[in-house]
Amino acid sequence: MITCRLVTTRQTKNNSLIVIAPHTVKVRELRAGQKEPRLLSLIERRGEFVLAVLATPDAVASRPVAQLSIPINGHFEIVREAEEALLINLSVASGVRIRIKGERAPELLLELQDDDRTQTFLAQVMSAQQQVESKLSKPKAMEPFTPIAPIPPQRANKTANYVGSGVNPPKSTNALPPNLNNSRSTNQTKTDLVQSLASDFGFEDHFNHALKVEEKKNHQNRIVAVREPPPVPPLPPRKASYAPSNPLPAAPVPKDRAVSLQANDHPKPDSFRSGYDGMDRPTSWSDSRTTNSMRQAMSSSQAGQREYLVKHLLGKKESGYVDIKNYRFFTGTWNVNGQAPDSSLAPWLCCDAEPPDIYALGCQELDLSTEAFFYMDSSKEQLWVEAMERTLHPKAKYKKVQIIRLVGMMLVVFVKKIHKNHIKEVAAEHVGTGIMGKMGNKGGVAVRFVFHNTSFCIVNSHLAAHVEDFERRNQDYKDICARMTFHLLDHPPLNIVKHDVVIWLGDLNYRLCLYDAADVKLHISQNELKKLQLVDQLNIQRKTKKAFTDFMEGEINFIPTYKYDPKTDRWDSSGKCRVPAWCDRILWRGNNVEQLQYRSHMELKTSDHKPVSALFSVGVKVVNEQRYKKVFEEIVRAMDRMENDFLPSVTLDRREFTFGNVKFRQLQRERFVITNDGQVPCHFAFIPKLNDSQYCKPWLRAEPSDGFLEPNETLEIYLDVYVSKDSVTLLNSGEDAIEDILVLHLDRGKDYFITIAGNYLPSCFGTSLETLCRMKKPIREIPITRLIDLEKSKVSFLMMEGSSTEDKPLKIPKEVWILVNHLFTKSCDQEDLFQTPGLQDELQSIIDCLDTSIPDSLSGCNHSVAEALLIFLEALPEPVLCYELYHRCLDCAHDSRLCKQLISQLPRAHRNVFRYLIAFLKELLKHSHNNNLTASLIATLFASLLIRPPPNVMGKHTPHERQKSIDFILGFLMAGDEE
């Protein structure tokens, strides 16, 4: 029997009827391996159907505000994931997965229970879709179409012409709004409220005079849409969307300003690293939530503009409706050295008399197996989680909030069950900082959440090892800060700094600047810890502002936690005799944070590290519902008048930018200042040009890409040009150029056009093997027209075996020979080769050297040359094993004879490069006792570079297929020497 709720209706002030469908279903959204609870509701509004997605099901009863609205129109699709067929008739199964596509939302993959309620709901959705399709099929003569989210007339007029001219065309003067006085509430805003809010915004003292000035100034821009009554108050905003006053490495932003920064794990100037751009960065470096599909919902929708502004103003007045209440946070970190738990964790987790409200526990080196370096599963994860759960404080009951693991780094967050309903907006992410950013033996994992009205970000990291490598540790820290980005439904991307409180824990691996272990142990025995902390690398890097600049750390009164003989309290007695150090640390940043305890736990002897914990008292912002409602209503009433009396206006100090000599993987940055010279707060955003999906080309990024400005406030916007592996090939071939036009859109205002130009210098990185084999000179010495000709004619070269002319191609690209020859002659015995990242300055020097000369030798350490080789292979537009042979490669992986036949069918350049690389890698394995390489490790790393799935099947590359590609390479590595 199917039970349905009664249909509810609501009469709006403009007499439009909103009918809420009788069904709402619970679903789970599948994203990045996580399942997040959602609610789906079908809503009919003035004859239009909308599928509403609510991200916080627990809040529906009190605040039924949809966080994503997908219109059901000609662009709407609902597809069953299993069959990729239109969802018309679902067969019976234990669960249903559907994929929803719409013009105002990102594509969603949802999981539903296959029950009567779900079937009824899906039938209603299909019925609504059929009604819409029937309407669209009937032509309406001379009847204008009015979308749900109206597009301002001047935007429609401009789109046809702005690309060519680069200037703002004149606006129509006959697009004035109707008189809205009759549609306003009878409870008109009181003058004192308006003037009070006007004062907050920085209005002029003479309110009426300012009104006349603005009406004259913005008359041609005035667009006022009919509004519905004030919405149900949204959830109180948090300062997670505000830029902190002391940000981590990032573009500077004004203090206490509500701005939605676009930080889509894009590296900053000093942290553009990792040739493996695709692992932690979107395909398009300029990906932004401001896309054409969101354009109407965000920039053109009056309701959307109003909601953003209300949230912004609520954030500014947050102190008027929140109270500060203290809660206890227990944070712990332990490098477990690949061991399983062999004793109770109570000495670590239950060392305080009172139970904490929240636990955040991090482990490093959970799994030390070779395969674990490549993100594979670990059987030890569950062992450690269960050990933690068994030994949480016995005086309270806890619920697991989130868990995330990257190879050996794991972070688990628990909360008291009595607080679980106050935890929301949970997300988890990871960043690998191993070689090419691909290997996860080093990096960080993080969990972010909101507790009451305070946002938290907990980071667990394992940074680069070895005493002398503090610069690599600094680089790892900057990479994590730059690339760690959280994606939430209906929220702009959030990075680490956009949280009220950040706690950073882990094996940071900073050592002492002393190399005599005996001397250090003597200081420890005499309890001279303060002297040792003067030479602590982390303290030095913080003081010199090289890393963790804005973080605080409590006083260290415990002896170093590294390195011990496992299962004992004895310092390391191995041949290496490591110098003791405080590798394991806990730092924090944020307001209302007091550290109560900072200690190590010597009782636990499982590992060569000792666990560390810190207990914090954190002042959390708790919303007073009554005061919040009052502030919300005051803002809405005052906005009713302001929105019709004032229009936004800004000025830009620059609109034309030229970037000189743009190179592969070298950041160039320019800036301009935007000033709000109007009388009201304004929201700006970069929006896509007509028929574009992104607001800029993939090598360009604006930061911030959208935000709010108060009257008279200024903001620096940075324009970054960075050519990654995803954009280098088109630039090398001349199919793209450093040219673009950015459209900066002002809500309820006009568009501003910013022109970008530059000179790109071609690189051998991202150039095809065939083209490189036909270049006897460095690529920079070859005219661009010749490069284009070479790329166009490479098809005729694919099967060419030789020539008697001077144009006879090289057997392999000279760049490959230079890199491999350097490694072959100088690096066979290099410890941890292909496992340790190179230094960024050295990598850039190597790239420039290969682009401009034919060197006898390369500068830089062996690790930098090794990573340069991997970056070169990753950037190839066609992998060494060509895309067209990908499936055959997988099919024959089990048969060495078939594998050799396949290699013989490769184009000449590809065949020679493959055989050359395999010969080199087999030579490296002969020195495995020194370089710590194994055939499995090499095969796993190089298979991902030499055998890449075609772009059209990238999303369907299964673990089974990855293993086949590894087996393909492994077969050649383990075979005997070829003839």
DSSP track, 483-505: H-EE--TTS--EETTSSSEEEEE
* Dist CA 476 CA 156 (whole Å): 46
Task: Look at residues 722, 699, 660, 666 and name the one whose alpha carbon lies nearest to residue 841.
Answer: 666
* Dist CA 383 CA 388 (whole Å): 9
Give the strand pairing for 751-760 and 656-662.
parallel
Backbone angles phi, psi at 264, to 5 degrees: -80, 65
Output the pLDDT for position 150: 34
- Count of CB atoms situated within 10 Å of the CB of 61: 7
Mean per-residue pLDDT of the chain: 79
Scan for tokens 């680490």, then name that residue. Answer: 496
What are the strands, taking DSSP E only, across 555-666? Answer: 584-590, 593-600, 612-623, 650-652, 656-662
CB 597 within 8 A of CB 562: no
Output the 3-class SS for 164-206: HHCCCCCCCCCCCCCCCHHHCCCCCCCHHHHHHHHHHHCCCCC
Output the pLDDT for position 373: 61
- Count of CB atoms situated within 10 Å of the CB of 36: 16
> Can you list the pairs that 858-864 forms with residues at least 24 positions away whose Cβ atoms lie under 8 Å?
858/818, 858/819, 858/822, 862/823, 862/826, 862/827, 862/830, 862/833, 863/435, 863/830, 863/832, 863/833, 863/836, 863/837, 863/838, 863/839, 864/838, 864/839
* Dist CA 904 CA 911 (whole Å): 7
Output the pLDDT for position 435: 78
CB 573 within 8 A of CB 565: yes
Q: What b-and-e string marks burial along 315-345, b requiring 16 or more CB atoms within 10 Å of the CB?
A: bbbbeebbeeeebbbbbbbbbbbbbebeeeb
- Count of CB atoms situated within 10 Å of the CB of 246: 11
Give 916: exposed, middle or buried? Use CB within 10 Å, 0-12, 13-18, 19+: middle
CB 96 within 8 A of CB 266: no
Output the pLDDT for position 600: 98
β-partners of residue 685 are 706, 745
* Dist CA 831 CA 828 (whole Å): 9
pLDDT, tens only, 821-878: 999 999 999 998 998 888 888 999 999 999 999 998 899 999 999 999 999 999 999 9
Output the pLDDT for position 57: 52
Indicate the pTM of the whole model: 0.68
Q: Which residues contact 714 (CB under 8 A, 6 or more apart)?
A: 254, 673, 674, 675, 676
* Dist CA 195 CA 192 (whole Å): 5
Output the pLDDT for position 793: 65
Which amino acid is present at 760?
Y
Q: Which residues contact 491 (CB under 8 A, 6 or more apart)?
A: 241, 425
Q: Which residues of the chain have pLDDT under 50?
A: 1-22, 59-66, 82-93, 139-235, 237-300, 795-804, 979
Find the Cα–Cα–Cα–Cα dihedral 177, 179, 185, 189, rounded to 10°. 80
CB 721 within 8 A of CB 700: yes
DSSP class of 796: G
CB 557 within 8 A of CB 516: no
* Dist CA 736 CA 760 (whole Å): 10
CB 153 within 8 A of CB 223: yes
* Dist CA 942 CA 969 (whole Å): 8
CB 601 within 8 A of CB 348: yes
- Count of CB atoms situated within 10 Å of the CB of 176: 13
Q: How far is CA 626 from CA 63, 159, 188, 422, 424, in A?
A: 14, 45, 22, 17, 21
β-partners of residue 564 are 571
CB 21 within 8 A of CB 41: yes
DSSP class of 883: G
CB 7 within 8 A of CB 20: yes
* Dist CA 648 CA 679 (whole Å): 7
Output the pLDDT for position 65: 41
Task: Look at residues 187, 185, 186, 207 and name the one whose alpha carbon lies nearest to residue 195.
Answer: 207
Output the pLDDT for position 118: 83
Q: Helices 862-875 and 935-946 meet at what angle, rounded to 10? A: 40
- Count of CB atoms situated within 10 Å of the CB of 81: 15
CB 755 within 8 A of CB 741: yes
Tokens at 201, concatenated: 């915004």
Q: How far is CA 645 from CA 209, 632, 641, 679, in A?
A: 11, 20, 6, 10
Output the pLDDT for position 200: 43
* Dist CA 165 CA 753 (whole Å): 10
Output the pLDDT for position 127: 84
